[in-house]
Structure 1
C-alpha cells in the first residue's frame, strides 16, 4: 500500500543560501514546514508550522507558490512518499529554533547530500533557476 505524506514548506533564500533546520535526534536537514492538520489550507499550515518551528510570523498576503515536489519519504518504508508544497513568503521576526527544532542553518547546493530526498529535488530546482548557489 502506498502512502503519501502531505507537507507544506517555507522556502527562505538569502544571498544564494537556503534556510534549513535539523530536528532533535535527526541526521539530515529539512526545509522548515510540516504536515497539514485536518481542515487546514496550505497557508494555515505554513503559518502554524513556521510559527511553531522558528518562532516567527509568516505574512500570508506575501505567500507565493514555488512548486510541489514528490519523493520517497526519508526514514520511512519503501512506498511512503512525501508531497512537499513549497511557498516563499515574507516574515516578521528572527528565525529561532523552537519546538522540535535543534538547529537552524544556511545551506548551499554543495550541502545537497545532507538533506532529505524531497529537499534534494527542491535544491536541484533552486540551483537550476539560479536561486541557490
Structure 2
C-alpha cells in the first residue's frame, strides 16, 4: 500500500468551508497539498496555500484540527492519503491560482462532491458543530 502525505487548510466562514477545484477535475478538495522532502506541516501549509490561493498563512496561528486517512481519489487501488488538517489565520483574499480553477464555500450538502478524505473532514466538522 502506498501513502500520499498531505497537509490541508481548513477555513470556515458562516458554517461553510473553503474548497478548491483544479483544472480538469470534477471533485473538490480542501486547499493544501503534498509535503516536499524535509518540510514540516507548517511549511507545507504556508507554501501550498500561497501557491493555490495567493494568501499568506500566519504560521504561529496554525492549530491542528485532526489527521484523516482514506483511499486516494483518482489513484491506483490501495493508494491511501493521510491528510493533516489545520486552521490558521491568513493575510489576503483567497483567489484561485496555478492549477486551481475555482474556489467555493461548501457545506454538508456538498459532501458527495469532495474526495473520500475530505468527506471524513466534513463529518468531523459536522460533529463539532462547525459545518452546516
Q: TM-score surpassing 0.5?
A: yes
Q: Which residue of 2 aligns with 1:78?
A: 77
Q: How far apart are 1:78 and its partner, in Å?
A: 1.2
Structure 1 counterpart SS, 2:101: strand
After TM superposition, list the pairs within 5 Å mapping 1:6-17 onto structure 2.
6-17=5-16
Mapped pair 1:42 → 2:41: yes
Q: Which residue of 2 aligns with 1:3?
A: 2
Q: How far apart are 1:120 and its partner, in Å?
A: 0.3
**How many residues in Structure 1 have an aligned counterpart in Structure 2?**
132
The gaps in structure 2 that reach 5 residues or longer are none
After TM superposition, list the pairs within 5 Å mapping 1:94-109 onto structure 2.
94-109=93-108
The C-alpha deviation readout for 1:37-89, integer Å capped at 9, x for no partner, is 01100000000000000000000010000000000000011110000000000
Structure 1 counterpart SS, 2:94: coil
Structure 2 counterpart SS, 1:99: coil
Q: TM-score, normalised by structure 2?
A: 0.99
Which 4+ stretches in 1 moved above 6 angstroms? Answer: none
The C-alpha deviation readout for 1:18-53, integer Å capped at 9, x for no partner, is 000000011100000000001100000000000000
Q: CA RMSD in A?
A: 0.4
Mapped pair 1:54 → 2:53: yes
